[in-house]
Structure 1
Amino acid sequence: MIRPEAAAVLMRWREAIIGLALALGGAWLLLTSGGLGYLFGLALVLLGGFLGFSGVRHARFRAETEAPGVVEVDEGRITYLGPVMGGSAALDDLTQVVFRRSSTGEAFWRLSQDSGQPLYIPEGAHGSEILLDALAPLPGFDGGAMVRAVQTRTPTTIIVWSRQGRAALT
């Protein structure tokens, strides 16, 4: 039986662990075989490296706390379904992405858009880790800035992304 704390850590870092295992398996094939096995090992090392890098970013981005609600992404539209508030925002309409952590430790994302009210998403909402990949197509988006924003533990407001040439609605 595995302790719940250990299971939570393994689940958080699962992609990075799988990437490391693939890279190690590929390295073993590179060192012990030739020909087709060598090429397969090289492919595994590359795939494992990519998955490991992506897994570390996602693990650092995942929230340690839980908040009510569910985040969904479908065809360029981010939707938050919460018990009290909710809404949706299209990627093409976004003007600004802001991360805010209050003095009580509660954190949320504010997605400002051209039309309508901003969309507020709690950091720990189920599926909120998908925001890192969902916002990646935005022009000039820096995923590292998003990860660094989540890593801050002090009360702060960080503008993670802003569309050039458009004013953000507050």
Structure 2
Amino acid sequence: MIRPELVARFKPWREVAAAVLTGLAGIWIFSLGGLLLQPLGGAILAFAILWGWGAWRRRRFAVEIAAPGLVEIEEGAIRYYGARALGGEVALRDLSQIRLIRLDGHAHWRLRTRNGEAVLIPVEAAGAAALADAFAALPGFDLGAAAAALAAKDAFRTVWQRPD
């Protein structure tokens, strides 16, 4: 019913659209008035604004899966199971640097630990979009800078470094 190219174009915006619709519902509930509905509508609107702001910043991380492998984030650890290349695991508390590197025209996150070990994770791997939430937990991490690095075509760019 809907053309596939149109669906592909609007797919990264679906979470933002859901937040906008939730905000509109909050405004509607607020407009009904009363001691119960106005605070409830205001709370829904505040939730929708925070959700929409986060979704707006995370939308660059959601790319079509085109690289082999799987990214899993569990209990403070980032695991990459590579199909062709080596995978690895890095604990968030051990990270010292995050870089975005382009190899053969494809972007990869290079996660380096304090011990000098590094893991390369393709941006286009399955589950890589969840890295935005994991990275946001790091001290001083700027999600906007990471989104700008994804949009840029630099060969490599340091996105975050531990402030030790």
How high is the TM-score relative to the length of structure 1?
Answer: 0.87
Matches within 5 A, 1:9-48: 9-48=9-48
> 1:95, CA displacement in angstroms?
1.0
- Paired position in structure 1 for 2:160: 161
* 1:160 maps to amino acid: V
5 Å-filtered alignment, 1:36-115, equals 36-64=36-64, 66-84=66-84, 85-102=86-103, 104-115=104-115
How far apart, CA to CA, are the structure 1 residues paired with 2:87 and 2:4?
A: 31
C-alpha separation in 2, matches of 1:92 and 1:141:
13
Alignment partners' CA distance in 2, 1:9 and 1:59: 12
Conserved? CA contact 1:16–1:52, under 8 Å: yes
Separation (CA, whole Å) in 2 of partners of 1:10 and 1:49? 20
Task: Identify unmatched segments of 5+ residues in structure 1.
Answer: 166-170
Report the secondary structure of 1:66's partner residue: coil
Encode CA deviations 1:33-52: one digit per residue, 9 max, x unaligned: 22211111111111111111
Q: Which moved more, 1:57-66 or 1:36-45?
A: 57-66
SS, match of residue 124 in structure 1: coil
Q: Does the CA contact (< 8 Å) of 1:22 and 1:45 recur in 2? A: yes
Runs of 4+ in structure 1 displaced over 6 angstroms?
Answer: none
Residue 116 of structure 1: how far off its partner (Å):
6.0
Q: For the Cα contact (< 8 Å) 1:61–1:151, is it kept in 2? A: no
- Taking structure 2 as the reference length, the TM-score comes to 0.90
* Residue 7 of structure 1, CA deviation: 2.6
* Other structure's SS at 1:14 match: helix
RMSD across aligned C-alpha pairs, in angstroms?
A: 1.7
Amino acid at match of 2:87: G
1:82 Cα offset (Å): 1.2
- Distance across 2 between alignment mates of 1:155 and 1:148: 11
The question of whether the paired residues in 2 share the 8 Å contact of 1:97 and 1:110 is answered with yes
Q: 1:39 to 1:73 in 2, by over 3 A?
A: same
CA distance in 1, matches of 2:136, 2:37: 35
Cα deviation digits, residues 79-119 of structure 1 (max 9, x gap): 011112211111111110000124x4211010011236310
After TM superposition, the structure 1 stretch with the greater mean CA deviation from structure 2, 107-116 or 40-49, is 107-116
Counterpart Cα distance in 2 of 1:4 and 1:148: 27
Aligned identity (percent) is: 39
| Aligned positions, number | 163
Q: Which one-letter code corresponds to 1:156 in the other structure? A: A
